[in-house]
Structure 1
Amino acid sequence: MRINDHQPLTSYVAKEDRYEQMPFRRCGKSGIKLPMISLGLWHNFGHDADFKNARTILRQAFDFGITHFDLANNYGPPYGSAEENFGRIMHKDFRPYRDELIISTKAGWDMWPGPYGNLGSRKYLIASLDQSLKRMGLDYVDIFYHHRPDPETPMEETMGALDHIVRQGKALYVGISQYNAEDTAKAYEMLKSLGTPLLIHQPRYSMLDRWVENGLLDVLGDKGVGSIAFSPLEQGILTNRYLSGIPADSRVAKDGRYLKQDQISQKVIDKVTALNEIAKKRGQTMAQMAISWLLKDPRITTVLVGVSRAEQLADNVKAVQNTSFSAGELAEIKAIIEA
């Protein structure tokens, strides 16, 4: 029997009330609104991960109203495998919902051998996006980022490549990640002169990593550029996960590439323990409060979370229910994190 072309190719049907669950914020001065929680596929979506679990997480995310899925060329492991697996899930589950999704990817870190598979050259960025689109089975991404500053390539070349990619129709918008305040202002002006606005900046930002407060947030606010904060839980430190020691199944115990045991010092544990007491009084988990603390600033468009289980995502999403802090709470939190 021939399959009706109008029938969905998946058994997955998104929940009808998904947009009633997630608030959205405008991304800078653009026409795009993003969910206050976005899902990152940095970990747990590569070939070493459980495909069924990854599919469950993505389905639940969309059912919660999370429309933004964030990837990069080197997410895995191995490199490229998160995009490959996302492409499989996209085809199986989300093809009917493509126009409801914001899908992003990036290039900037090492991806393939030789001088043309890293940093910020025109050749690398354009070739990398072509490869990413093939892996995901997409005609275009909604946002394409330069993943990190390149001290060697002229910024004019990198921004020119981003502009070219938009004009090719391979990305609708462009962003940058981890640029400092000064370079962000330069990138903004270069892209503006080319006619391709800088939509969004993706900085690392958490209660324990506040470098963006030294000028970057002011630039984003002044220029009308959106922001998406990654590592809001400091690789799991800003949860209750490590308050009683290092669990055997934790990321730091199994994979020390991104979080090392010496980062979880007694001083850090003491801070998180004190913060957790404030979270309890607010009726939140530690993770929820850490996310809410970022979202209290309207210049933060959305917070990018990464999870290994659907239950973690359900916990994180509840952060949007309370993003207001009293003056007393803010003062207490500041005293703890700056001690």
Structure 2
Amino acid sequence: MYMPDDKRYEKMVYNRCGKSGLKLPAVSLGFWQNFGHNGNFANMENMVHTAFDAGINHFDLANNYGNPYNGSAEENFGRILDRGMREFRDELCISTKAGYEMWAGPYGDRNGSRKYLTASLDQSLKRMGLDYVDIFYHHVYDPETPLEETALALDNAVRQGKALYVGISNYGTEKTKEMQEIFRELKTPFIVNQPSYSMLNRWIEDDKLDDYAAENGIGLAVFSPLYQGFLTDRYLKGIPEDSRIGKGATWIGDQLDEKMLTKLNKLNDIAAKRGQKLSQMALSWVLHNKAVTTVLIGASRPEQIKDNVACVNKLDLSDEEIAEIEKVLAE
């Protein structure tokens, strides 16, 4: 029987999500990779237990996680809950998303319709064995569905008691602002946007999404903060065969050229001077942005989770370190 670490909450930093009453751990665990049908269940369970023992109480899923079998990540998480974690449900923040292709026909393809979102959330709850999720996101902006319809579907999930809060993902500033205006009128608890963001992917700064979020009480839950593994020590000396790039499991592999390798090694040198691994400094850098509530990490083994969580022990970055990092990133 799994018994969590009694001191788990002493190991983590918790940040308020925007202006809501909800606090999220600075580091959260995402289920995008390695929790699907083809994964090792014992390893999945070990990773979830390791995360919870480290103070990670936020687990982020989506209806389509678990490729090639959409939904299998949620099914596996439901099994993990059944095997000793479900008694801690009130300590957990569980989020899921819907928006990408999920099932056959016009009601299950990529969209933001009321029909799709309502059916998808019901399916997700069934797969995980839950009465409600804490956060339900629209996963990606759909230009073919009116924003009002998508917003009303999310609002309805809250009113039905199937979600406590709602969020959006992969939305830029313009559409985020439009959605917030609708949610304010509906009085929907809209608290979070989930964009990609890292040292190597700073589009939210160019788009001013981080500024808008900070000014308007929206938290940012950032995915791919390690740029799909680039910002770890995995690639400092080349491409291992068992890595995501080595397996051809990422679409950014061609970016790992000599210029990128030089940049990564220089960043690693800065991290070493700080007494951190490159991955830990990269997470600290993302969390240094005051608009960011939490970073969503992925993992293939428990040790990676332990390494990444250690970033909370050294979150401060001096002006000199920021300048040194910026210089390397600009090269």
The answer to whether residue 17 in structure 2 is matched with residue 24 in structure 1 is: no
Gaps of 5+ in 1: 1-10
- 1:6 corresponds to which residue? none
> CA separation in 1, counterparts of 2:61 and 2:305?
17
1:303 corresponds to which of 275, 291, 295: 295
2:243 corresponds to which of 239, 250, 273: 250
Residue 278 of structure 1: how far off its partner (Å): 0.2
Structure 1 length normalisation: TM-score? 0.95
Counting only pairs closer than 5 Å after superposition, residues 36-185 of structure 1 correspond to structure 2 as 36-77=26-67, 78-117=69-108, 118-185=110-177
The answer to whether residue 319 in structure 2 is matched with residue 318 in structure 1 is: no
- 2:227 corresponds to which residue? 234
SS across alignment from 2:271: helix
Residue 255 of structure 1: how far off its partner (Å): 3.6
> CA separation in 2, counterparts of 1:147 and 1:136?
18
Counting only pairs closer than 5 Å after superposition, residues 251-270 of structure 1 correspond to structure 2 as 251-256=244-249, 258-270=250-262
> CA separation in 2, counterparts of 1:93 and 1:261?
38
Deviations 1:93-123 (A, max 9, x none): 2111000000000001111112111210110
Residue 34 of structure 1: how far off its partner (Å): 0.5
> CA separation in 1, counterparts of 2:213 and 2:220?
8
- The residue identity in structure 1 corresponding to 2:247 is K
RMSD over aligned CA atoms reads 0.9
- The residue identity in structure 2 corresponding to 1:199 is I
> CA separation in 2, counterparts of 1:261 and 1:153?
33
SS across alignment from 2:24: strand
- The residue identity in structure 2 corresponding to 1:249 is D
- 1:8 corresponds to which residue? none
> CA separation in 2, counterparts of 1:287 and 1:261?
18
Q: How many residues align?
A: 328
Residue 128 of structure 1: how far off its partner (Å): 0.5
Counting only pairs closer than 5 Å after superposition, residues 196-211 of structure 1 correspond to structure 2 as 196-211=188-203
SS across alignment from 1:228: strand
Residue 260 of structure 1: how far off its partner (Å): 4.2
Residues 42 and 75 of structure 1 are in contact (CA less than 8 Å); yes or no, is this contact kept in structure 2? yes
Identity of aligned residues (%): 58
- The residue identity in structure 1 corresponding to 2:102 is M
Residue 259 of structure 1: how far off its partner (Å): 3.7
> CA separation in 1, counterparts of 2:39 and 2:204?
32
